[in-house]
Amino acid sequence: MFISFIKSACKFKNKYSNRCDSFNTEADSVIYLSLSLSLSLSLKLALQHNNHRKLTTLLLKCAGKLSIKQLLQIQAQVITYAPPYLNTNIIAVKLIGISASHAKLRHASLIFTQLTNPNVYAYNALLKAFAQHNDWNQTLSFFNYQLSSPTAPSPDEYTFTSVIKACAGLHSLSDGFKVHAFITKTGHQGNLFVQNSLMDMYFKFGFAEIAYELFDEMTVRDVVSWNTLVSGYVLSGDVEKARRVFDMMVEKSLVTWSAMITGYVRSGDVDAAREIFDRMPDRNVISWNAMIAGYAQNEKYADAIDLFWQMLRVSGFGPNDVTFVNVLSACAHVGALDLGKWIDQYIKRNGMELNLFLGNALADMFSKCGCLAEARRVFNEMQVRDVITWTIIISGLATHGHANESFDHFYDMLECGIKPNEITFMGILSACTHAGLVEEGLKFFNQIDKVYGISPTIEHYGCVVDLLSRAGRLNEAEDLINSMPMKPNVIVWGALLGGCRIYKDVERGERVVQHILKLDSGHSGSYVYLANVYASMGRLDAAASCRLRMRESGVTKTPGYSWIEHGHTIHEFFMGDRSHPQTDQIYSMISELESRMKLAGYRPNTGLVVHSVDEEEKEDVLSTHSEKLAIAFGLINTREGATIRVMKNLRVCTDCHEATKVISKIVNREIIVRDRSRFHHFKDGWCSCNDYW
């Protein structure tokens, strides 16, 4: 019967040769068939015939691809049919390793406890399982158990590598020193694996000098030793030393190159990181991820996206979830919705798991690109959610003006047992700010400390000052600033200044400007505010004097610009911009829109232009604001009825806000604008912010 079973296995191998290339013998084919078709019967047969150890080992090697349910079946068959002379330690080591690969540490521990005489390999397997899953306390606890047990075998070098890793993970200096002393006492200090682990531990403790002394004393070094030194200096923030070691290395691995890329990225020198990346003789997905992440983390989002497309073209292998998390972050910042949608479809097509990090990145991207429905969909699909997940949806709803829904999700989060953090409350307070819900905002603000035990930060205070200022409660806002437990910064005073601008409180505004200029003499917003106030009062000489002071002090106003994605390309526009290849078409569209807008009742708010020019010139200035150029570009390049999405680095001015409402009606389009503060959904002559922003 066993012979016929082998023949069946061989036929199976021929039929499915593309799946069985790694199985070279008939016995291997039996194992593959047993895993794929008849687990219980085939394992029983394997254990009842010769080559028990080989067949069982092969079976367990294949079992890493199976579910935990199938692994339990394997274990049951081994217990039932294995002959008494079979070495149970070998089986246990394999089963512990496989259980660990499925994150079943309790099951791995139970397997160990069934051994009557566990050897050092069994101890090491369980220690490794704990260390692999960052269960540092359990690693040290089990190691102490091994030392205290009179029947336990003595630790070897593999024992110490797991224990050293646990000491480093806990950042426990006392345990690290004790383990190092024990290693020296037992004569393992000369082992290469142990020395490399100790070096890594001391770097993580912040003792770079001790780590280098260990390296210097090593009589034998391998590429891991050198990589540990490079990575350690990178971790310590000493990129220059890391580079010196890197240049000395004769043999460099992918880990070496990637460590240097990471070092330069952390120091903010992305050009040096790219130089290393371009010099790499070979690259893997980790290398590409390191460079893409470097661009994203240093706010070079367009470069991150460009490098991602290059990776797809030339690398020869697919991106993973880490790649997508970094690229989605870049998409979220620049509003690259088309690429974000492509990644979403790629994940679905390739059956990738929507894990916590990938799900959070995807939901955040959709929310920040103005697709709140898609953000909700991703949120609902996620099987596991943490405080970041809930904060993303709460903040997303807030910036889109859905305050009540934001509150509902906050309470749902509490019912799920998730405790809010500082950023969650920023989302909730911003929801109140955008909706003008002052009393609700004050209630949540008071709960931060009293109910949830979180000390309010200066950002929380700034949010409440903004809430009160927008609602016209300027006295309360100023009183809150004066009662803050920390010194108010420019952002807090700036929030009050915004209220002074809205409600034309000139006296208070001048006082606030003095506070701001004491903190930041180059704060352009304060000069612009005063110039605009004086101009609106007819004090043109004072306005001109204010702008002259700006020039003399070298203060420059942050230029407003807008951007729009089309054809996987980000198109940027500044006020009066004529650098775009489609400039003639864009300005022709603006001229057409102006005529139709005036017929619809729109009148330009020329009071916003403080320069001493006539009304017609003021209208021309307003018509070429960056968001209007971006909207015109969108109308030219998208199909009839398609939604136009524009991003802007500053807050939308009142004229552009009014103009976009009118444009949305006359062209019958939804126009979504994300400014520095929130989203505006323009449709049928109406904006989602209800003109409160």
pLDDT, tens digit (0-9, with 9 covering 90-100), for 117-163? 899 999 999 999 999 999 999 999 999 999 999 999 999 999 999 99
What is the arithmetic mean of pLDDT over 454-480? 96
Other CB atoms within 10 A of residue 640 CB: 8
Whether residue 602 is contained in a domain is answered as: yes
Residue at 434 is within a domain: no
> What is the average per-residue pLDDT within 189-200?
95
Helix (H), strand (E), coil (C) string for 9-22: HHHHHHHCCCCCCC
CA dihedral sign of residues 43, 46, 51, 54 = negative
Say if strands 671-674 and 679-683 run parallel, antiparallel, or are unpaired: antiparallel
Q: Would you put residue 123 in left (φ > 0), alpha (ψ -120 to 50) or beta?
A: alpha
Q: What is the pLDDT of residues 237-265, one digit of tens each?
A: 999 999 999 999 989 999 999 999 999 99
In degrees and rounded to multiples of 5, residue 569 shows phi and psi of: -130, 140
Q: Report the pLDDT averaged over residues 353-373.
A: 96
pLDDT at 181 over 70: yes
- The number of domains in the chain is 1
Rounded CA separation 531/286 (Å): 52
Is 667 contained in some domain?
yes
Q: What is the 3-state secondary structure (H, E, C) of 620-649?
A: HHHHCCHHHHHHHHHHHHCCCCCCEEEEEC
Judged by phi (left if over 0) then psi (alpha if -120 to 50, else beta), residue 613 lies in beta
Please give the helix or strand (H or E) that residue 289 lies within, else none. Answer: helix 285-297
- For residue 589, give the nearest of 519, 521, 669, 655 by alpha carbon: 669
Nearest to 33 by CA among 67, 5, 71: 5
The model's confidence at residue 607, banded by pLDDT at 50, 70 and 90, is low
Q: Say whether pTM exceeds 0.85.
A: no
Q: Give the pLDDT confidence score for residue 13 in this predicted structure.
A: 40
In a domain, 565, yes or no: yes
Flag the least confident range among 20-24, 106-110, 685-689.
20-24
Q: Alpha-carbon distance 490 to 67, whole Å? A: 56
DSSP state of 558: P
How far apart CA 505 and CA 510 sit, in angstroms, is 9
Longest pairwise C-alpha distance within the chain:
105
Q: Mean pLDDT over all residues of the chain?
A: 87
Across residues 34-47, what is the average pLDDT? 49
Taking 90 as the threshold, does the pLDDT of residue 532 lie above it? Answer: no
CB 120 within 8 A of CB 154: yes
N- to C-terminal Cα separation, the chain: 80
Q: Give the helix/strand (H/E) hosting 687.
A: strand 686-687
% pLDDT > 70, the chain = 86
Q: Reduced to 3 states, what is the DSSP secondary structure of residue 564? A: strand
| pLDDT at position 184 over 70 | yes
The token pair at 310 is 């290059």
Residue 374's alpha-carbon distances to 85, 130, 335, 362, 624, in angstroms, are: 60, 38, 14, 9, 33
Hey, how many other C-beta atoms are within 10 angstroms of the C-beta on 294?
Answer: 25
Q: Which residues of 479-506 are buried (b: 16+ CB within 10 A; e: fewer)?
A: ebbeeeeeebbbbbbbbbbbbbbebebe
Closest CA to 1 of 55, 41, 36, 29: 41
Query: What's the CA gap between 529 and 547, in Å, rounded?
Result: 10
- Enumerate the H helices of 437-489 as residue ranges: 438-450, 458-470, 474-482
Q: Tell me the residue range of the domain where 642 lies.
A: 561-687
Rg for the chain, CA atoms, rounded: 32
Would you state the structure tokens that stand for residue 641, as one six-digit string? 């009825």
Residue 601 or 27, more confident: 601
Please give the C-alpha separations between residue 30 and each of 59, 65, 66, 92, 459, in angstroms, as whole numbers.
Answer: 9, 16, 16, 22, 64
Residue 607 located in a structural domain:
yes
Indicate the Cα dihedral angle 377, 381, 385, 390, nearest 10°.
10
What mean pLDDT comes out for the span 484-504?
93
Query: pLDDT of 393-432, one tens digit each?
Result: 999 999 999 999 999 999 999 999 999 999 999 999 999 9
Q: Looking at this protein, which amino acid is placed at residue 673?
A: V
Percent of the chain whose predicted confidence (pLDDT) is above 90: 70
Give helix then strand counts, H and E, for the chain: 37, 6
Q: What is the pLDDT of residue 26?
A: 45
Domain-embedded: residue 508: no
In angstroms, the CA 77 to CA 47 distance is 9
pLDDT at 551: 84
Cβ neighbours of 225 (radius 10 Å): 16
26-40, 254-268, 525-539, 633-647: least confidently modelled range: 26-40
Q: Check pLDDT > 70 for residue 83.
A: no
The pLDDT assigned to 492 comes to 96
Residue 233 confidence class, pLDDT cut points 50, 70, 90? very high
* Residue 360 domain flag: no
Supply the pLDDT for residue 111: 87
Long-range contacts of 413-416 (CB under 8 A, 24+ apart): 413/387, 416/385, 416/390
More confident of the two residues 486 and 64: 486
Q: Judge whether residue 278 has pLDDT over 80.
A: yes
Cα angle: 377, vertex 378, 380; to 5 degrees? 65
Say if residues 644 and 670 touch (Cβ distance below 8 Å).
yes
Q: Is residue 672 part of a domain?
A: yes
